[in-house]
Structure 1
Amino acid sequence: MSNKIIKPDASELSVPTREEAEAAVRTLLRWAGDDPTRDGLIETPKRVAKAFQDYFRGYNDDPEEILQKTFEETEGYDEMIVLRGIRFESHCEHHLAPIVGRAWVGYIPNGRVVGISKLARVVDVFAKRLQIQEKMTSQIANIIDDVLKPQGVAVVIKAEHHCMTTRGIHKPGTDMVTSRMLGVFRDNALTRQEFLSVIDD
């Protein structure tokens, strides 16, 4: 008999009610050592549940759909397009601690381009989910590559992780850098270097 653990698909998981979510917050408040019925905390469960809807709204968005509308009237433009310093806020899937950073997203089109706001929205879709930075970097690059079919995609993320700056090892001011290079950005050292020089700030 196999010992392999089969995890259910996220779409098959039952979603708790708002009341259940608020009850869970009250439990955590008690576990932290406070009284959830005191005046200052009485509305906290409702506020936390509402905040979670904002923090994790990316689960309700489809990044592929965001990238579907493209433009082909580019007069043959086939050079690098880079959107720099896209600020994002995410949460670490290990501690639910904030991850705050910026993303640099570049691609070389192959006949069609996408509105630049769509690139920022794709970053937000994946940021507004429980994350690790390595996975988020790959997800952004992969979806752009899959949908736009460009000559190449490059993504760099620099972020501060509160799971190590405000707890644990307590090293504020430390950031983490991850990158994902696809197509010509992976295969051509000069193209990759051009991208890195564009994002250098």
Structure 2
Amino acid sequence: MDAVLETLMRSAQSEKEASTARRPSREEAEAAVRTLIAWAGDDPTREGLLDTPKRVVRAYEELYSGYRIGPETILDRTFGEIGNFDDMVMVRDIEFHSHCEHHMVPFVGKAHIAYFPVERVVGLSKIARIVDIYARRLQTQEHLTSQIITAMDEILKPRGVAVLVEAEHMCMAMRGVRKQGASTVTTQFTGVFRDDPQEQVRFMSLLRGLRP
């Protein structure tokens, strides 16, 4: 079985299983926050923490909103009035905030995406929204990179996609080895980007060479 198709099937099955599981109520979620506050060593009934569980649950609704949106709803509309344009489209410096699935602490960075359209293009803001959909879930940077490129490749069916993600992980900066400023870079390529090293070079040159 094609590796990309197998990945999509596994991802779809995992999301289906997650969606059919009973979602805790808001009251249960708030109670869980109170438990964690007490476990950390503070008093969840003191004045400054009384409303914290409600705030945390509201924040989670925003921080993890990506679970409620599918990429096909974002990339389903394309535009054909592009003349004879058939070269690379790049959107760089797409800022994102995500959370490490291992420690549930943030990692913050930028995604850079390029693709070769076939007759039709997608709105540029939709590319940024695809990053947000997957970033607003519990993640690893490697999986985030893979999900972005798979969605672009499978839904748009371009001649190739290139994705580079760079981020700083608070699970390294705040705890553990505590190496602040260390950055992680992940890349993935499909189509002409994967098959032609010169297109990878051009992608990197456009990404780095055009910076002020």
Aligned to 1:124: 132
TM-score by length of 1: 0.95
C-alpha distance in structure 2 between counterparts of 1:64 and 1:184, whole Å:
23
- How far the C-alpha of 1:65 sits from its partner, in A, is 1.3
Aligned to 1:28: 36
One-letter identity of the residue aligned with 2:57:
A
Aligned to 1:71: 79
Say yes or no: does 1:48 pair with 2:72.
no
Aligned to 1:155: 163
C-alpha distance in structure 1 between counterparts of 2:66 and 2:135, whole Å:
7
Say yes or no: does 1:103 pair with 2:111.
yes
Aligned to 2:142: 134
Say yes or no: does 1:81 pair with 2:73.
no
TM-score by length of 2: 0.90
C-alpha distance in structure 2 between counterparts of 1:76 and 1:142, whole Å:
26
Aligned to 1:179: 187
Say yes or no: does 1:190 pair with 2:198.
yes
One-letter identity of the residue aligned with 2:186:
T
- How far the C-alpha of 1:9 sits from its partner, in A, is 1.0
- How far the C-alpha of 1:12 sits from its partner, in A, is 1.4
- How far the C-alpha of 1:24 sits from its partner, in A, is 0.1
C-alpha distance in structure 2 between counterparts of 1:29 and 1:59, whole Å:
25
C-alpha distance in structure 2 between counterparts of 1:139 and 1:199, whole Å:
21
- How far the C-alpha of 1:96 sits from its partner, in A, is 0.4
- How far the C-alpha of 1:199 sits from its partner, in A, is 1.1
C-alpha distance in structure 2 between counterparts of 1:148 and 1:10, whole Å:
26
- How far the C-alpha of 1:36 sits from its partner, in A, is 0.2
One-letter identity of the residue aligned with 1:166:
M
C-alpha distance in structure 1 between counterparts of 2:19 and 2:25, whole Å:
16
C-alpha distance in structure 1 between counterparts of 2:119 and 2:156, whole Å:
9
The structure that is helix-richer by fraction is: 2
C-alpha distance in structure 2 between counterparts of 1:75 and 1:195, whole Å:
23
C-alpha distance in structure 2 between counterparts of 1:45 and 1:140, whole Å:
32
Aligned to 2:24: 16
Aligned to 1:92: 100
Gaps of at least 5 residues in structure 1 are 1-6
Aligned to 1:145: 153
RMSD: 1.3
Aligned to 2:122: 114
Deviations 1:46-92 (A, max 9, x none): 00000000110000111111001000111121100000100000000
How many aligned residue pairs are there? Answer: 196
- How far the C-alpha of 1:161 sits from its partner, in A, is 0.5
Gaps of at least 5 residues in structure 2 are 1-13
Following TM superposition, the consecutive aligned residue runs of length 4 or more in structure 1 with deviations greater than 4 angstroms are: none
Deviations 1:135-174 (A, max 9, x none): 0001000100001110000000000000111111100000
